[in-house]
Chains A and B, each alone.
Chain A
């Protein structure tokens, strides 16, 4: 009996989303198959990795991921240029950590200025992220969305508690938008519906089902992503068809495995390599489960994942 490859043809597809402007704009999403299942459908765009930078020096990052940016991380503009020019970043994610009330409590105006400065120094797409303080983010991101008008940035993250103002700002200034919910497919669907009901075009959305680090809840993110992707493809559920982002670096570089010294835990092996692999393997797993956009920190981890992606396609 001749073997017929059991191919799946799905009725749905993931929206392609383009960010940035001009020659350096990038597009991700657009496939009509599960991740890396190009043998049965079309995968027009490769996943994109954005380098994470911050508006303030990364005092809370562990030594091993601080070091590669030592010379530039005192200034977000230098940091961004370094990622673009030296590391070859295809996109940059600026996290406005300094605006958090428990950190420097920088104002929305300060943040907007940083955004402007960074944008005038780079030509690759910019992702603008708040400090994950729901109230403060809704002021900060509104100001930043305006400051970045017409640059086709990504604004994030809109959450249930603050989405209204952020959605309005992204819409008024022609940006893309990350909608984040907490590890639950129904919450994610619900938030996407609420946002599109405000008149926001669903093809401009990016879903963040919430990341977690390898060993610290990865299996939850992994399965929520797989379920979202199956809903998009097999059930043709339009509310689940935006591409997904995995915000990997911030979850990975706070856990013990990326910080404990080999001298204290000899069984865990070389700390520098361990940290890089932790970020890279978290990222690779989430690509396999459905992410099209990654936000990462360590240059070696990014390079390893880039190699992995090119082997995949």
Chain B
């Protein structure tokens, strides 16, 4: 049976003494001159990583980096601006994913930064999403890979493509926004939540690819990739874990990106996201769909 344990964690420097040296063929190195040496070592240690076309993320792992990110959190600005790609998002997810930071710890830190607890409401609610997904994971286990409910799009899973097209995986679709999202994801292992949603909606509803293929792509690259949060969010977009599909239009994407992608997009006059929500719903799902 599981037992409870306190998790007030100190700075990592408190834990520095008595680092094990490692011994035997299975022990891995702990000392590196720089990140380039670490990258080379990992490529040499794991055969399947030798030909990984992408390098390390510029986002560093470790509790020191996590505490810096936590210190920078601004709950009030987060609430007002988080949906914009330039908004004051926290970038704590990858540390929380691996337990480097805990949810209670992040909540306590946020509450020390506001005059009234209500100012941290949205930030705390977003932490609650992580708690929610993990509770569901307890129940579902590997079931997070299966449709939770029937799709509300009227399109059957058998009608969808099993795989993501190569040009999408390589950021060569010709859509400036989507190609930029793939580029950022592959270079950094991070993507703003709104970009994740737009990309997921494009993959599932426009390209008609099964959500599992997109979920797998995210899990390969996202530093915060977690099967529960990730797959159930894809299912929320696909409408197998929500009462209607999530989709967007160009106006929405332009608003929350300040139009940066559309300005020079090769397909700016032939944008698949152009149109009202009603027009797009009819085009994507047909006239009888749940909106």
Q: Is the A/B pair a real complex? A: no
Measuring CB to CB, which residues of chain B are less than 8 angstroms from any residue of chain A? Answer: none
